[in-house]
Amino acid sequence: MRRRLLLLLLIAVGLGACNSTPPYVTTVGVLKARTALTVRVADAPFNAFAPEVSQHRDLFTVAATALPKGAVPPPPLLRAAGGGLVVTAPNPLAALLVRVPSRVNLVVESRRGDVNVTDITGNVRLVARNGNVMLLLPGYAQAAVGRGNLTVTIGASDWPGTLHFSTQHGDVQLRVRANVGFTVHLHTDDGALFTDFGLRGVSNGHSETIDGNVNGGGARRIDVETASGGIQLLRLQPQP
C-alpha cells in the first residue's frame, strides 16, 4: 500500500462539475502539530486560515474552486513529505483555500495570484512570483515577492536569526511589536523608506538605506529589501 499522508481522516467531496462559487473538491484531514504544510500554487488566488471554530484544531482543509468557464481541472495533489504534507495545484483555479491546523508551519510557493494568510498559529515562509501578499500572524514569517506589494504583520516577540522580506517590484509594509529588540536593515534601490522606530538612514541617488538597532538590538534581525518600491517599518502597539 502507498504510505498514508499521516492522516487519521481523509474525505474528498464533489469531484464533478459545479458553478463558480462553491469548491468543486474539498479534502479534510488530520495533520500533526510541529510539522509543515507546503502549498504550491500555479495560478490562483490563495487564502490560508486557521480551522473553522467548529473544527478540531488538528484538522486541515484544502478547497479548490474552478474557473467559471472551461473544464473542471483535476483536484490538487496531496502527498506526504518530511513528516508533513505537500499540496500541489498545477492548474489555473478561481480560488484555492487551505485551513492550517494549530502549530503547523506553512510554506507557500505561488507563481501567480494574490496570497492572503491570516491568523494561523504556525510560522510562514513564502515565495510569490506575481501577486500581492498579505500576512497577518501571531508568530513570524519570511517572504519574497517578485512583482506585487507585500504587507506583513507579525506578533512574535522572538524568532531565530534573521527574518528576510523582499520585493523586486512592489512596496513593503511590515509591522512588528513595538517593544521587541532587534537589529534592522532596510534598503530600496528606487523608492523611499519610512519607520516610526526612530531610526535614520542615508540616501544615494534613488536608493535609501537604514541600518540600526531597535529597542537595544539583540540576536534577532530583520532584513527588508526592494529593487523598486517603498518600505515602511511600523510599530505594532499591544492591544489594551
Distance between CA atoms of residues 97 and 88, nearest Å: 12
170 alpha-carbon distance from chain centroid:
16
Percent of the chain scoring above 70 in pLDDT: 90
Pick from 142, 147, 141, 223: which is nearest to 188 by CA? 223
Please report where in the chains the cell 507546503 appears, as a residue. Answer: 38
Distance CA 168, CA 116 (A): 19
Would you say residue 1 has pLDDT above 90? Answer: no
**Residue ranges of E strands in 14-83:** 25-30, 36-41, 46-49, 59-65, 77-81
Amino acid at 74: P
pLDDT tens for 173-214 read: 999 999 999 999 999 999 999 999 999 999 998 999 999 999
Question: How far is CA 1 from each of CA 5, 11, 201, rounded to the nearest angstrom?
Answer: 12, 18, 60
Please give the torsion angle defined by the CA atoms of residues 175, 105, 148 and 118, in that order, rounded to the nearest 10 degrees: -60
Q: Residue 45's Cα: distance from chain center in Å?
A: 12
Q: Quick one: what percent of the chain has pLDDT higher than 90? A: 87
- First-to-final CA distance of the chain: 54
> Is-above-0.85 flag for pTM?
yes
Instruction: Give yes or no for residue 4 having a pLDDT over 90.
Output: no
Say if CB 195 and CB 174 are below 8 A apart. Answer: no
Mean pLDDT value of segment 13-30: 70
The DSSP H or E segment spanning 152 is: strand 150-154
Residue-level pLDDT at 14: 42
Burial string for 6-35 (b: 16+ CB within 10 Å, else e) reads ebeeeeeeeeeeeeeeebbbbbbbebeeeb
* Whether 158 contacts 179, CB under 8 Å: no
- The answer to whether 73 and 66 are in contact (CB under 8 A) is yes
C-alpha separations of 224 from 52, 53, 139 in Å: 33, 35, 18
pLDDT at 90 over 50: yes
Give the type of residue at 52. Answer: E
Give dist(CA 194, CA 164) in Å, integer: 17
Residue 234 has pLDDT above 60, yes or no: yes
